[in-house]
Amino acid sequence: MTRCGAAILIVLLLAAGLAPLILPPPDALDLAARFAAPSPEHLLGTDELGRDLAARLLHGGRISLTVAVATAVLAALIGTAIGMVAGYHGGVADALLMRLTDGVMALPLLPLLIVLAAADPVKLGVPAAAMDSEGFAIGRLVVIIACVGWTTVARLVRASTLSVRARDYVRAAVAMGASPGRIMLCHILPNIASPVVVATTLSVGNIILIESALSFLGLGIRPPLASWGNMLTGAMDVVWSTPALAVWPGAAIFLTVTAFNLLGDGLQRALNPRGDWAETAH
C-alpha cells in the first residue's frame, strides 16, 4: 500500500512536471470551444471558458502540492521549535507554550482560517504590485495555514523531547558544558526526527484538503490561477449544464490525499515498528 501511495505521487509529479511540454497552456482561452467533450486535442475536454481541463488540472495540482508540502514543512519547523523549547526547558516556558498550543487547538479551524485569509496584505505593508504574482499567492496561503497547523507536531516533539532529555548522552553533553541550543540541535533533534517526519507526511494530505476548501470558498488560490479547489467553484456554477466538470478536480484531491496518507502510514510502520508514538495517529 505504501508503494501504491508513492507510485501515485511519482506519476502525479511527473505529469505535473511534463504538462507544460505536451498539453496546451492552462490559461489559453478558446471561447469557440467551451465545454468541449474529451478529444485527442483536449484529453479531458474544456471548461466554461474553453480552457483545457487536463492542463488546468495538472497546473492546479502543481500549485496545490507546492502549497501543501511547503506548509507542512513550515508547520513542522514551528512545531518542532516550540515543542523542543517547551520540553527541554520545562517550567514556566513549558506551561505557557503548552497553554498556547491547547488554545490554538481548541479554536474552530475553518472560521479562523477564513478570517486570516480575508486579511488584506496591502494593509500589512505588502506592495499592491506584488500581490498578483503566483509566488505571493502561494506564500500567503502557506503562512496562513502554517499559523494554525503546527500544534500536532509541537505536542509530539514536546513528548519526545521529554523522554530523550533524561537519557545519559544528553546528561553527558550537559556535564561537558554544551549550551542548550547545541544540545537541542545536535543531540535531541536527530533522535526525535522520525516521528516528526511521519507526522509531517501525514499532515500533507490534511493540508491539501484545507487548501482546497479555502480555494473553493474563494479565499485561497484565486482565479485565473488554477487550483483544485477553485476549479470546483467554477464547476459548481455550471453544475446543471455540465456536471462532468465537477468530477475531475475532486477525484484528483481524493487521489493525492489518499496517496499521502498511505505513504505516511507506511513510513510510520517502517520507522516505528512497535507503534509507540500514540500522538502521530490521525
Partner 1 sequence: MGMISAGAARLLQSLAVLLVMSFVVYGLMGLMPGDPIDLMIAGDPHLTAADAVRLKLLYGLDRPWTERWLRWLLQVLHGELGYSRLYARPVLAAMLPAMLNTATLMAASLVVTLAVALPLGIAASLRPGSLLDGAVNLLAFASVSLPVFWLGLMLIVVFAVTLAWLPAGGMAEATAGGAGVLAHLVLPVGALALAGIGQYARHMRAAMMAEAGHDYIRTAKAKGCSPWRVVLGHQLRNALIPITTIVALEVGGLFSGALITETVFAWPGMGRLIYDSVMGNDFNLALSGLLLATAVTLLGSILADLAYWRLDPRVRRRS
The one segment of 37-45, 95-103, 157-165, 183-191 that binds partner 1 by CB under 8 A: 95-103
| CB neighbour list of residue 228: distance below 8 Å, 6 or more residues apart | 57, 60, 61, 64, 212, 215, 249, 250, 252, 253
CB closer to partner 1, 29 vs 110: 110
| CB neighbour list of residue 191: distance below 8 Å, 6 or more residues apart | 160, 164, 167
From CA 16, how far away is CA 1, in angstroms rounded? 23
Taking alpha carbons only, the member of 37, 11, 6, 39 closest to residue 23 is 39
From CA 1, how far away is CA 171, in angstroms rounded? 41
Min dist. Cβ of residue 182 to partner 1 (A): 34
Give the bridge partners for 52, in sequence order: 46
Which of residues 9, 97, 253, 267 is near partner 1 by CB under 8 A?
A: 253
From CA 75, how far away is CA 148, in angstroms rounded? 8
Q: At what angle do helices 134-149 and 109-118 cross, to 10 degrees?
A: 140
From CA 199, how far away is CA 156, in angstroms rounded? 9
- Total residues contacting partner 1 by CB under 8 A comes to 41
Task: Tell me: does residue 12 bind partner 1 (CB under 8 A).
Answer: no
Task: Tell me: does residue 276 bind partner 1 (CB under 8 A).
Answer: no
CB closer to partner 1, 108 vs 135: 108
Task: Tell me: does residue 281 bind partner 1 (CB under 8 A).
Answer: no
Binding mask 175-214 for partner 1 (x = CB under 8 A): ------------------------------x---x--xx-
The one segment of 17-25, 174-182, 257-265, 266-274 that binds partner 1 by CB under 8 A: 257-265
| Residues at the interface with partner 1 (CB under 8 A) | 99, 102-103, 106-112, 114-116, 118-120, 122-124, 205, 209, 212-213, 216-217, 232, 235-236, 239-240, 243, 246-247, 249-250, 253-254, 257-258, 261, 282
